[in-house]
Structure 1
Amino acid sequence: MRYLYALFVPGGLILLAAVLFLRWAPPEHVAPLLHVFPYVILGAGGLLAWRFHRTSVIFVLLALAVADQALLRSSSFGGQGAGDAVLVVFQGAALLLPPNLMAFSIVGDRGSLAGRFGFGLGVLAAQVSTVALLAGWAAPGAATLFEAQFLPEWLTGWTAVAHPGLVSFGLAAVFLTARCLLYRKPLDNGLLWALVASFLALRKFGVIPYDSASQVLTFYFSTAGLILVVAVIEAGYAMAFRDELTRLPGRRALNEALQQTGGQYAVAMVDVDHFKKFNDTYGHDVGDQVLKMVAARLDEVTGGGRAFRYGGEEFSVLFAGKSVDEALPHLDLLRATIEDTRFTLRGPGRPRKKPGKSRPASGSPKQVAVTVSIGVAEPSARVSTPDEVIKAADKALYRAKKGGRNQVRT
């Protein structure tokens, strides 16, 4: 379920709402909206992306705006059909937009600010210049090249986008979908659905009358920008409330959740047994993998529990609306599940990259058991505030460790 959520929320829902609006809204309501919608999105998106140091989003917004304006201002397009120059601009946009989204997804926001701006502006300027030169001086030949046909008719007859552009969109969609499912990051989700919105913008351009096509074009490109703006906000939220290593909600998210429980809850503090010794023996990289494994099991806790990364090797599980007695069976099942999960260590002679030729194993991989100790508490007359309940759970955790570890105490 979490993978479907990462794939469709929020970008897919925003695009669905946009499709329904464009389908059912009267044309006289759409036209005034397009006088302000693109500029608000470009301005707000640029400011948010700058504030959150997401320069890649700024350049994607610029690429969408350039594609939109280039097509709208093509003087050859008069509503009766497209000349070679406009076909070059149109098919060039369809071919080049998807690789731009893939490139900015890969490059992200690494490197110096000056370097990122230089790269982004250089990439956009080179593409715009190339398409402009082809449209102005070699339009017939370029149009023929851009509209090369090599896909079956049933796959292409429903859109004005030519075969090279369809392949470009298809490859980018597969790539960005894989990134969404693998990393579950808000910006990857935003780029994926911005890609889909861009395809919807281009799909009927040159097929339906110009006035309607221009509205569809600008509306969907602006929707792509809106999706990216929401992705920037989501990424900012994730930075503040979600732990980057384990992908669990962090301590700040726990504090907010505790304020919304209504006073009836049980909270458990979970600590990885002997983690410092484990970390010192096998290294910090292996220690991080242990934390990720434990976090994955915690994220599957039953009974309506919600897991959080509290700090270091310590986690929390919140059971809203539950008592300690109701939470205990689920916590003991969680403890046993982690104990039964065997963690395989990388052998000292094992290369980090797979060799070209397989070699016989020098020995069987070493497996170690990872266990956790758990303390749980609930509000009472003696401990009433969330901070006091967490301290009570911490004391119970201490008793679990003193009692031999790998157990649950209240």
Structure 2
Amino acid sequence: MIHLIWQLPLMWFAYSQITEIQHWPIAWQSLLMMAPYVISALGVFIAVWLNRAQPVMILLTLMALNAMLFYFLGQERHDISAQVAYPLLTILLPLSFFVWLIIPERGIQNKPYLFSAASIFAMLGVTFFWALEGLPIDLIKHLSMPVQNISMAIKIPMIGMVISLVILLLMLTRNAMCQRLKVLDNTLILVLILLMIGLNDFQTYGVMAWVSSLSALMILLAIIFDAHHMAYVDELTGLKGRRALFETFMGLGRKYSIAMMDIDHFKKFNDTYGHDIGDVVLRAVADNLAMIETGSVYRYGGEEFTVVLKGKTPEEAKPYLEQVRQAIEHMKLKVPVKNKMTEVKVTVSFGVAARDDTHKKPTQVMKAADEALYQAKQAGRNCTFISGEKTTKTPAKRIKQ
């Protein structure tokens, strides 16, 4: 939802300029006609470089839309092809966007997947050109039937409007049910709305080129934000990753604590129940960590997590860490074992250290926290240990897993 901060202003800017395009300088209007292709081509290049096939197909669809509109409707043609092209485009555009949304991303380097996507794109093109020549006159008239409204503000044919609304509803439903959305997923909904606004007023000079340019720009920004998310956020747990952690280190002040957390006996757990169940445990632990009342949580790697607590001493941070540790200890986690759901116990250990005269750099503090974590393990696990504390000789009683 945070991306609405830039998406909605861009949509408003695009809409507000629709009536102003004809007043732009001639040079600007000339450049505008090429803008959708230039921005889309840039987006395709970046998507290919990032091994993303989905945005490539969306941008190619956008370029094809503009090319078809210019060829069939931009030269004041009055033949049968021009009459059927407009209602067909209002139908095929939302349908093609929905297809690109629901097809899972497999990457541009996956040849079978790329061949399938290219085949679908070609099929859409063949359908369009077949319909131009093969549809009966009566069906063309039915497709072109306008929405009956008093103000005549809606110029899109009735069937195109209905299909667009149905597709928008399906896209919203799909995104609402999806657990891990990409920025592109929600952006595509807004882009479709913007393009339908443009199609509604396509006869006004430059309108489709303008809304297509802004649509391509929104898709390009979505690709970049998705790439940033993949680089900085751990896909399995949804927590920020190691790269984000080290960037956080650059902005820490003079007072802070760092805690290192490790899942007890996780290797043994993986060996017993399998890596799929291990992933379930990692997600469950991450969900509990994310609820910590103070501090920022990161997945450091494997079964290790890091908590950065700004403005807190280890003594001040310990109650928050203990609260999370106890929540995980009492967590009721059921996993399938031999076709039967079995409840398993999961415990974690924390080591926490603070910046001081000995440990001035965040990496040094983190190393001290890691040593404290090792002491927590030596003390029997399932506990929180502050750097500098003495390890008890008798290990604490471990909880069976």
Task: Return the TM-score normalized by structure 1.
Answer: 0.82
- Among 391, 403, 407, the alignment partner of 2:367 is 391
CA drift of 1:236 comes to: 1.8
Distance in 2 separating the partners of 1:220 and 1:281: 56
Letter in 2 for 1:56: Q
Structure-2 residue corresponding to 1:122: 119
2:310 to 320, 333, 341: 320
- Cross-structure match for 2:90: 94
1:330 to 320, 335, 358: 320
SS of equivalent residue, structure 1 residue 64: helix
Give the SS at the match of 1:375.
Answer: strand
Deviation at 1:12, TM superposition (A): 4.3
- Of 162, 165, 170, the residue aligned with 2:157 is 162
TM-superposed CA distance for 1:336, in Å, is: 2.5
Q: Which sits farther off after the overlay, 220-229 or 159-168?
A: 159-168
Size of the alignment, in residue pairs?
Answer: 381
Q: Percent identity?
A: 31
The letter for the 2-side match of 1:159 is I
The answer for the alignment partner of 2:65 in structure 1 is 67
Cα 1:35–1:179 shift into 2, 3 Å: same
State the distance in 1 between where 2:64 and 2:379 align: 66
Change (3 A) 1:394 1:93: same
Which residue pairs with 1:348 in the alignment? 338
Kindly provide the CA deviation profile for residues 241-262 of structure 1, in whole angstroms up to 9, marking residues without a partner as x. Answer: 2211112111111001111223
Aligned to 1:309: 299
Cα pair distance change 1:170/1:346, threshold 3 Å: farther
Which residue matches 1:356? Answer: none
The aligned amino acid for 1:125 is A
For residues 377 and 217 of structure 1, do their structure 2 counterparts lie closer, same or farther at Cα, with a shift above 3 Å needed?
A: same
Q: CA shift at 1:136, angstroms?
A: 4.1
Given the alignment, which residue of 301, 305, 329 partners 1:339? 329
Instruction: Label 1:229 to 1:35 Cα distance change in 2 as closer, same or farther (>3 A).
Output: same
Does 2:172 align with 1:177?
Answer: yes
Name 2:275's counterpart in structure 1: 284
- In 2, the alpha carbon distance for the partners of 1:312 and 1:377 equals 21
Partner residue, 1:233 = 224
Q: Is the counterpart of residue 269 in structure 1 residue 267 in structure 2?
A: no
* 2:241 paired residue number: 250
Match of 2:99 among 96, 103, 128: 103
Q: Does 1:381 align with 2:357?
A: yes
Give SS of 2:284's match: helix
SS at 2:298 equivalent: strand
Alignment partner of 1:384: what SS? coil
Residue 234 of structure 1: how far off its partner (Å): 1.7
Judged with a 3 Å threshold, the aligned counterparts in structure 2 of structure 1 residues 10 and 400 are, in CA distance, closer, same or farther, namely farther
Give ranges in structure 2 of 5+ residues lacking alignment. 387-401
Taking the aligned partners of 2:171 and 2:315, their CA distance within structure 1 comes to 45
Between 1:215-224 and 1:173-182, the stretch displaced more is: 173-182
Q: Cα RMSD over matched residues?
A: 3.1
CA distance 1:394–1:110, change in 2 (3 Å):
same
- For 1:143 and 1:128, the matched residues in 2 are separated by 18
Counterpart amino acid of residue 249 in structure 1: K
Helix, strand or coil: the match of 1:308?
Answer: strand
Correspondence for 1:354: none
Q: Which amino acid aligns with 1:224?
A: S
Secondary structure in 1 aligned to 2:24? Answer: helix
Q: CA deviation at 1:311?
A: 0.5
The residue matched to 1:74 in structure 2 has which SS? helix
**How far, CA to CA, are the matches of 1:105 and 1:319 in structure 2?**
39
Unaligned 5+ runs, structure 1: 351-364
What is the one-letter code of the residue matched to 1:399? Q
SS of 2:237's partner is: coil
1:357 aligned residue? none
